[in-house]
Copies of this chain bind each other. A is one copy, B any other.
């Protein structure tokens, strides 16, 4: 496995990499990421993984500085699952100057997580576009755990005619249902015990909707109340149309229930798709 730090090295490697499947990450890799790599290997000749903690997508007061940088451990894990190359640029390789040209996403980027993280999705679309232009992958894989991110990037690729196939990977979970996330490492023991509550609520929402419930607003309010009662600070609990991320309509064929909430100082997000 090659570990490449410069854009020039990456481009030279890419020349002979065949059909490339790309998995962008911020590092601090866990089993959820490794399942993305395993999926990636089924879709091309070479899997390229980027590791870059992207300052642009962190807001003021967020965890950019304390986000764990664990390159050596990450590379060992990536090698064990058959990654062809890791692209781990220094910050000034991607941002030699303050970024001037940005990919401005539409209004959906200001809803759900975007409402609580202004500019976050512009930071994501911009860095992913840059990485796409550097890696020039045939396929890119994003985890559905960050559902809105997956949605925005898939739409961006279509809307800007990028020649890349986007695949969404199912969320990896602990045995108790908690979605695997780098931020789980921030949880205290008692918060870790409490954390699976959001997946339990999502599962119950899915079951109720599949049994015919359509009182989304009331049910979401009840979830908010229950989470608050158990010490969570809730950003949102929503049911949306999975194809548009807008409000569900009578013609929706697939929905998605999404939760974002803080336990202690740690913000967790999760979601579940609901086939109708």
A residues engaging B (CB < 8 A)? 7, 11, 94, 97, 99-106, 125-126, 129-130, 133-134, 136, 155-156, 159-163
Contact A130 B160 (CB under 8 A): yes
Q: Give the chain B neighbours of A103 by CB distance below 8 A.
A: 101-104
Name the B residues within 8 Å of A106 (CB-CB). 100-101
**Pair B7/A155 contact, Cβ less than 8 Å:** no
Bound complex: CA of A97 vs CA of B163, how far in Å? 18
This chain's copy number in the assembly: 2
Which of the residues B126, B134, B159, B162 comes within 8 Å of A99, measured between beta carbons? B159
For the complex, give the distance between the alpha carbons of A36 and B95 in Å. Answer: 32
Measured between C-beta atoms, what is the minimum distance from A217 to chain B in Å?
27
A35 to B202, CA, bound (A): 62
* A100 neighbours in B (Cβ, 8 Å): 105-106, 155, 159
Residue numbers in B under 8 Å from A97 (CB-CB):
159
Residues in B whose Cβ lies below 8 Å from that of A11: 163
Q: Report Cα–Cα, A129/B161, bound state, in Å.
A: 9
Distance from A60 Cβ to chain B, minimum over Cβ atoms (Å)? 20
Cα–Cα distance between A94 and B161 once the two chains are bound (Å): 8
Measured between alpha carbons, how far is A134 from B163 in the docked complex, in Å? Answer: 7
Tell me the bound Cα distance from A213 to B80 in angstroms: 67
Residues of B within 8 A of A163 (CB): 11, 133-134, 136
Whether the Cβ atoms of A102 and B104 lie closer than 8 Å is: yes
Cβ of A101: which chain B residues have Cβ within 8 Å of it? 103-106, 125, 155-156, 159-160
